[in-house]
Chains A and B, each alone.
Chain A
Amino acid sequence: MNTDKNKKLEEILSSLDGSRRAAVPGFFYTRLKARMEKGLEPVKQSWVLRPAFAFSALVVVLLVNAAVILKGDAAKENTVADTENFQSLAAEYRLNDNNNAILFDINQDK
């Protein structure tokens, strides 16, 4: 069993022995010349300009914007809720305008 496996491995490992050299496809020189004349050597694009990076940056900016807007709305809602709480508290302890006026008068009398 092991001998068979070793034999198979050896066959695979020696499968490149005696291989022929791969030849370039036809018109290689013509294509090469055309590329040299057009100056088509690939320009290395900066990673900052890669679409994946650009879109990721855009998404981050949009998410930050959305977070700021949502937080702003929540803060507004809190302010409204606080006002309502104060009003109900004032009503409960009768801290309305009339009472304040009475208290004010008492203080003045003194």
Chain B
Amino acid sequence: MKTTQHENPFYDPTLNKRHLKAKLFKLFTLSSIVFAISFLVFFLGDMVYKGLPAFQQSYIQIEVQYNEKSLASTRQAIDRKYRRVVSRAWLRDIPKRVKQQPELMNTKQLTWVLLNHQVDQYLKGHYYKVKAKNLKLIQAMQAEGKVEQQFNEIFFTHGDSKIPENSGFKSAIVGSILTLIVMMVVAFPLGVMTAVYLEEFAADNTWTRLIEVNINNLAAIPSILFGLLGLAVFITLFGMPRSSPLVGGLTLALMTLPIIIVSSRAALRSVPDSIRQAGYGLGLTKIQVVQDHVLPLAFPGIMTGSIIGLAHAMGETAPLIIIGMIAFIPDTPTSIFEAATVMPAQLFTWAGMPERAYVERTAAGIMLLISVLITLNAFAIYLRKKFEVKW
């Protein structure tokens, strides 16, 4: 065997080593992508593991007394021994509940009452300091089947609260929607118009190149600096209301503009010239060609880019913190001039809270936010695949 190898004039004694090196190199590249993907899996798994319990909340079935006395001092509505385990927020809302259902007045009802967050966390298996007396009570009730985990409606119907078991995501969701509407109303037309101008109308001169370079640079400016712009220009200079979706939306619009412009330009460029020339040949003006022929053909591509920009803006936090959108917002905002918070900013606030119950809510909010983002991105990809025209 050895002799035959030596007879080969191309025999390279280092060949085995070289192949080993090539293999090792391939292994390295493979392991790096495996690492990246497994991080993603671990990370998503971690969030689901931490966030899933937040969709359940512990309730206890006890008798609640509705009378004048319990309306005046809501603590009186329940038996003394339960006062330390049920939620303050639930008791606080008793008058509101009676107002909604006047027939409750002067009755005694067996009701599912919200437990406080210490007991709730304890029941979910986390270490929490609960007094031995109360613990015994809960365990006894549990044995009777009078303590159970129910779907956490509060998370979707309430705003933020200083009482963990009473805090929800709703005001942040509405705040996000308002902010993103402002953003899209500003950024979409501006972005598409800029793209149309650059692709269809602009002459190739210094001015155009300046805009192009500028858009590329704009895309690379750290997002927090847009917050400084929002603070100095929109709030301090123009006097727009601080923390409002209006300022947030405008700031995000300027930040998202480059994404929309770049993708819209790519979409316009992919429309073949023959379409334009056919239009001119039939005597159409430039505006007519762009408006009736080029834009409709480029529209799916423009939409794809805008949705990706929207998803990007939805997850952005840093500039919004600077313009004050991390205020404590218990009530759902109803207009773009009111103080509001957005989903990622709410997550940031919750993540800074010391109570364990907020950790679980943060993770649940993250699950919600990421599913929306992935859905948006998947929808964008679907649009692109479905309407992609091969010329």
Q: Say if A and B assemble together.
A: no
Which chain B residues have a beta carbon within 8 Å of chain A's beta carbons?
none
Which chain A residues have a beta carbon within 8 Å of chain B's beta carbons?
none
